[in-house]
Amino acid sequence: MRILVTNDDGINAPGLETLERIARAISDDVWVVAPEMEQSGASRSITLADPLRIRKIAERRFEVTGTPADCVIMAQRKILSGNPDLVLSGVNRGQNIADDVTYSGTIAAAMEATSLGFKAMALSQTTGMFNQGEHAFDVAEAHGAAVVRK
């Protein structure tokens, strides 16, 4: 099973590393295509006026100068040789509930994937609205693979 992993927090986000581990617990064919910089709140926007740049970071790991939706499109059209069987987006640091879902780049990447005909899921984790410390993703990592498999 080919899994495409993306997010809206950027290529160096700890949540993306967590999502990679979740994906690798399910498949050996994992590709990462994520924004070079944080794109929180980008919603489902795509880049129209500026050129998109793709940079290979490592084997099956790429950064794109655009939005999360751009990353899904570029992965499908320019990076992957074939379509993904599943697109996972996240793990977002913080909640994506209520009105947040209309702004979330994390959810937008999954929506873009479904509009292209791919199965997709967005994962988010919050540690409480008053948590000022570093965000830990241990809950997402402990339960993520089982939730995705279901």
Q: What is the DSSP string of the chain?
A: -EEEEE-SS-TT-HHHHHHHHHHHTT-SEEEEEEESS--TT-TT----SS---EEEEETTEEEESS-HHHHHHHIIIII-SS--SEEEEEEEES---TTHHHH-HHHHHHHHHHHTT-EEEEEEE---TT--SPPP-HHHHHHHHHHHH-
CA distance 48 to 29: 30
48-103 pLDDT, tens digit per residue, is: 999 999 999 999 999 999 999 999 999 999 999 899 999 999 898 777 777 778 88
Q: What is the pLDDT of residue 133?
A: 56
Q: What is the pLDDT of residue 135?
A: 66
How are beta strands 54-58 and 29-35 bridged, if at all? unpaired
Burial label, 10 (beta-carbon count in 10 A; 0-12, 13-18, 19+): middle
Q: Which residue has the tokens 């751009």?
A: 70
Average pLDDT of every residue of the chain: 91
